Amino acid sequence: MRTGRGKAATGLAAVVLSTAVAGGVVAATQSSDEAALQPARGAASQNIEHRIDSLIRRMTLEDKLNQIQLLSDGQMKERPGEASKPVGGVFSEVDPVLINKYQRQAMESRLGIPILFAYDTIHGFRTIFPIPLGAASSFDPKVASEDHRIGARESAAVGLKQIYSPMVDVSHEPRWGRIAEAGGEDPYLNSVFAAARVKAAQGDNYADKDKVVTSVKHYAAYGQPEAGRDYNTTDMSERRLHDLYLPPFKAAVDAGSDTAMCSFNSINGEGGCASKRLETDLLKKQWGFDGFIESDYTAVAELRTCPPKTPDEGPCGHGIAEDGPGAAAAALNAGTDSEMVSELIRGNGKMLLAQKRISQSRIDDAVRRILRIKFRAGLFEKPYVPVDPVAAEAAQLQPDAVAAARKAAGRSMVLLKNEGGTLPLSKTKTTAVIGPLGDDGHAMLGPWWGRGRDEDAVTVFAGIKAQNPQTTFTEACKMAHTEPPQATPADECASDAGFDAAVTAAKAADQVVLALGESREQSGEAASRSEIDLPGRQEELLRRIKTEAPGKPIAVVLFNGRPLTLEGVVDDAPAILEAWFPGVQAGHAVADVVFGDVNPGGKLPVSFPRRVGQVPIYYNHEPTGRPCDKNQKYNSRHRDIPFCDPQFPFGFGLSYSKFEVSNLRLSSKSVSRNGRVRAHVDVRHVSGPEGDEVVQLYIRDPVASLSQPVRRLRGFERVTLKPGQSDTVTFTLDKSDFGFHDNAGKLVVEQGQIEVYAGNSSEGKLMQTLMVR
Ligand code: NOJ
């Protein structure tokens, strides 16, 4: 028997937002994990707080406003004097020589306050792991831990002490390019991965030389921009905000994330970086977060109305402040402690204070929070990074890191279709690797490639050839890697001039690996798409090979940063392997899976729509009075889509083996609202080689005062079984599972029946009922 990833098993604290008691509503209390966290943070703190007091006493207003300022590497280079002011933080500078130089200037200035150097180590610094959406597909938090353990080590080796990760924006919006950066559509899966990333990057003490402090982002609800357009407005009910979007932030904070980034978007009309309700009341006060919040890039300036009142050319946007000073006051007063790139708090702080639009105590609080993290990071004691260019280079891309990246990539792949056992292919037959992504190391790294280098990446062709020397490569068409505004759809696999050669190569080989997907520029920040199918003429390429080289085993391997609409692919491709952007070891990991050394066991962390018009389509939706029925008229459907379901549901993924998940049973048929109940599920290897199954547990509250989702994931465990083996997975459920938030943001736990489901996807059919008393 093993313990599944229910909250008790993962150490994830319950999501607790209210202590109010009302009729029929049970007060939620702090979980034991949460309580344990406070003393740990508090212990070293007394000494630190004294040191902060003494520093703050000696700081001038100008010193304090400089601490609130966070500048980019480019800004630092343009203005050589900044380090000796010194500013609070610098991001994107990765040259250890320059980092030490700035640090020395800061340390030798009057107060000797070190600079906090930060970087976007999202899925690796130099050793690039699968994109986070891919990592989430592993349903194995160790994949995320390894990614961030190594990412922290490589980042710290050049003098960085903060990473702008984990990105935990739950999203139901596949058009949004940044869906690549987090764990998909489910709050629970995102929470488990967020906690794993934080713990691995920070360790027990992020002052350690190979650790960094994490910044959880983008607070909040940045993952749900209207029309899927990046940076766009978010508008949602309180209950959805609390049930779907906030839990991963809470999980990251409970895991110890000591910094957070507020988001660009407006949410229910408030600026992400000007929401007192979210920043001060919830994050800082209710959740006990005593670190600092930095704004996203110019997000403070983007609070002011357009065009800006002053003649500067700076950004503007939401129109919740009249001008730059107004934006600065709104952000600082709401709880934003550090301003990235724009300089409105620093520039206007003195005037705002004189006008009593901001207070000295709020400035001091922001500075205290920033200094607290610098003390915890050990920067006052060890401000410099050892600079030995040989050692610095040797710290990157170490063999253990490369091996971990290969394993992570293999565990992140999801087998979507495998008709007639097309996969695995044979290592001894001739193989044609075909397609625009077949020999493209650049694309394999995905968006946010950190300091990863194209030449580090193993291409599909190189990986397949390493295991099967009788391998050829034919590109067929090109991915242009262009960025907007130059990019047009025509840049990606626009011409069929190479298709004849591809068909010839397919005919000449025994088996075909077709490497298709998006360019890495097509997902990530500022890379929303209105169509989410395979770009260019790639479907046509598949069809030509399928019809002109009939009967050939064809495995389509997909590289992409979002769910794709694959209606035009699923019928023609006998086998489809979703590889996401697998990172630096892409080709080896693809070969491991394609040839069967690794049995795919990943599951989708996000639903794949059939057509873009179905968006948003997600498993954790609420029921309707007229559920979709493709044979009737007056129900909730698209008249031009003869299906109700997505192409592939959340939690779905095949294996080269067959497993059976059975015998869901509960330790008790009823539970008090403060009690716990265990759910046991058996899993058995039925046929095929050793492999992995992900046992998944969902619940539904069928009768509640507010309509509840038809399913909610509350536990999962990836189990490895040899032929003939079976196992039992146990999950623990409690009020954080049965409860939901109301539209005042309060956690409520109601009496009544709960349906508990288990299976190997969100469509698992095993069901038991439980009475919450
Ligand atoms: C903007 C992005 O939204 C954010 O995720 C990132 O951390 C900052 N730029 C800094 O690079």
491 lines ligand 1 (CB under 6 A): no
Segment 230-234 shows an average pLDDT of 97
CA distance 311 to 335: 28
- Identity of residue 102: Y
Where do the DSSP E strands lie in 560-619? 575-578
Q: How far is the CA of 576 from the centre of ligand 1 (A)?
A: 33
296 lines ligand 1 (CB under 6 A): yes
Per-residue pLDDT at 314 exceeds 90:
no
120 lines ligand 1 (CB under 6 A): yes
**495 Cβ contact partners less than 8 Å away, ≥ 6 residues apart:** 477, 478, 537
Q: For ligand 1, atom 1, which residue shows the shortest CA distance?
A: 297
CA distance 623 to 618: 12
692 lines ligand 1 (CB under 6 A): no
Segment 581-603 shows an average pLDDT of 98
Q: For ligand 1, atom 4, which residue shows the shortest CA distance?
A: 296
Segment 95-99 shows an average pLDDT of 95
Ligand 1 atom closest to the CA of 264, numbered from 1: 3
Residue 496 tokens, joined: 């069929």
Q: Are the CB atoms for 155 and 544 separated by under 8 Å?
A: no
What is the separation of C-alpha 534 from the centre of its chain, rounded to a whole number of angstroms?
A: 23
Residue 296 tokens, joined: 């996203």
* Residue 361, burial from CB neighbour count under 10 angstroms (0-12, 13-18, 19+): exposed
Ligand 1 atom closest to the CA of 222, numbered from 1: 3
pLDDT at 34: 33
Q: Are the CB atoms for 267 and 275 separated by under 8 Å?
A: yes
In tens, the pLDDT along 418-455 reads: 999 999 999 999 999 999 999 999 999 999 999 999 99
169 lines ligand 1 (CB under 6 A): no
Q: For ligand 1, atom 3, which residue shows the shortest CA distance?
A: 296
Ligand 1 atom closest to the CA of 218, numbered from 1: 5
Return the number of other C-beta atoms located less than 10 Å from residue 61's C-beta: 12
pLDDT at 1: 57
Q: How far is the CA of 293 from the centre of ligand 1 (A)?
A: 13
608 lines ligand 1 (CB under 6 A): no
**Nearest by Cα to 297 from 201, 375, 222, 213:** 222
Q: How far is the CA of 367 from the centre of ligand 1 (A)?
A: 22
Q: For ligand 1, atom 9, which residue shows the shortest CA distance?
A: 297
Residue 178 tokens, joined: 């940044």
Angle between helices 360-376 and 344-354 (to 10 degrees): 140
Q: Which range, of 32-41, 615-624, 720-729, averages the lowest pLDDT?
A: 32-41
Per-residue pLDDT at 332 exceeds 70:
yes
**623 Cβ contact partners less than 8 Å away, ≥ 6 residues apart:** 707, 710
Q: For ligand 1, atom 11, which residue shows the shortest CA distance?
A: 120
Pairing of strands 162-163, 89-91: unpaired
Q: Are the CB atoms for 133 and 147 separated by under 8 Å?
A: no
Options 120, 296, 682, 692, the catalytic residue: 296
Q: How far is the CA of 712 from the centre of ligand 1 (A)?
A: 30
Per-residue pLDDT at 89 exceeds 50:
yes
* Residue 58, burial from CB neighbour count under 10 angstroms (0-12, 13-18, 19+): exposed
CA distance 608 to 417: 13
Per-residue pLDDT at 13 exceeds 60:
no
If you average pLDDT over every residue of the chain, what do you get? Answer: 93
CA distance 692 to 697: 16
CA distance 758 to 597: 29
CA distance 228 to 173: 6
93 lines ligand 1 (CB under 6 A): no
Segment 50-74 shows an average pLDDT of 98
**β-bridge mates for residue 755, sequence order:** 700, 769
CA distance 120 to 130: 15
Segment 653-669 shows an average pLDDT of 98
Residue located via tokens 């146990």: 730
**β-bridge mates for residue 670, sequence order:** 771
Ligand 1 atom closest to the CA of 181, numbered from 1: 5
Quick check: helix, strand or coil at residue 263?
A: coil
Segment 331-356 shows an average pLDDT of 98
297 lines ligand 1 (CB under 6 A): yes
Return the number of other C-beta atoms located less than 10 Å from residue 720's C-beta: 13
Per-residue pLDDT at 491 exceeds 80:
no
Q: How far is the CA of 264 from the centre of ligand 1 (A)?
A: 10
Ligand 1 atom closest to the CA of 164, numbered from 1: 7
Q: Are the CB atoms for 521 and 481 separated by under 8 Å?
A: yes
217 lines ligand 1 (CB under 6 A): yes
What is the separation of C-alpha 598 from the centre of its chain, rounded to a whole number of angstroms?
A: 24
pLDDT at 311: 77
Find the DSSP H helices in 160-254: 187-202, 238-240, 247-254
- Cα–Cα distances in Å, from 432 out to 202, 346, 416, 474, 671? 44, 59, 21, 8, 58
Q: How far is the CA of 217 from the centre of ligand 1 (A)?
A: 9
Q: What is the CA radius of gyration of the chain?
A: 26
Active site residue 120: no
Residue 678 tokens, joined: 């265990």
pLDDT at 2: 65
* 277 DSSP assignment: I
The DSSP result for 631-694, as a single string, is: T-SSSSS-TT-S-SS-SB-TT--B-SSEEEEEEEEES-SEE-TT--EEEEEEEEEEESSSEEEE
164 lines ligand 1 (CB under 6 A): yes
Residue 193 tokens, joined: 């991965």
Q: For ligand 1, atom 7, which residue shows the shortest CA distance?
A: 164
In tens, the pLDDT along 260-276 reads: 999 999 999 999 999 99
- pLDDT classification of 36: cutoffs 50, 70, 90: very low
Q: How far is the CA of 504 from the centre of ligand 1 (A)?
A: 45
Per-residue pLDDT at 123 exceeds 80:
yes
Q: Which of 116, 119, 164 to mutate to test the pocket of ligand 1 (most atoms within 8 A of CB)?
A: 164
Q: How far is the CA of 202 from the centre of ligand 1 (A)?
A: 20
Q: How far is the CA of 296 from the centre of ligand 1 (A)?
A: 6
Q: Which of 273, 297, 302 to mutate to test the pocket of ligand 1 (most atoms within 8 A of CB)?
A: 297
Q: How far is the CA of 703 from the centre of ligand 1 (A)?
A: 41
Segment 272-298 shows an average pLDDT of 98
Q: Which of 122, 296, 342, 528 to mutate to test the pocket of ligand 1 (most atoms within 8 A of CB)?
A: 296
Ligand 1 atom closest to the CA of 217, numbered from 1: 5
- pLDDT classification of 21: cutoffs 50, 70, 90: very low
**Nearest by Cα to 585 from 398, 403, 393:** 403
pLDDT at 10: 36
pLDDT at 29: 31
In tens, the pLDDT along 193-227 reads: 999 999 999 999 999 999 999 999 999 999 999 99
161 lines ligand 1 (CB under 6 A): no
Segment 556-560 shows an average pLDDT of 98
Q: How far is the CA of 119 from the centre of ligand 1 (A)?
A: 9
Per-residue pLDDT at 579 exceeds 50:
yes
**Nearest by Cα to 131 from 608, 559, 718:** 559
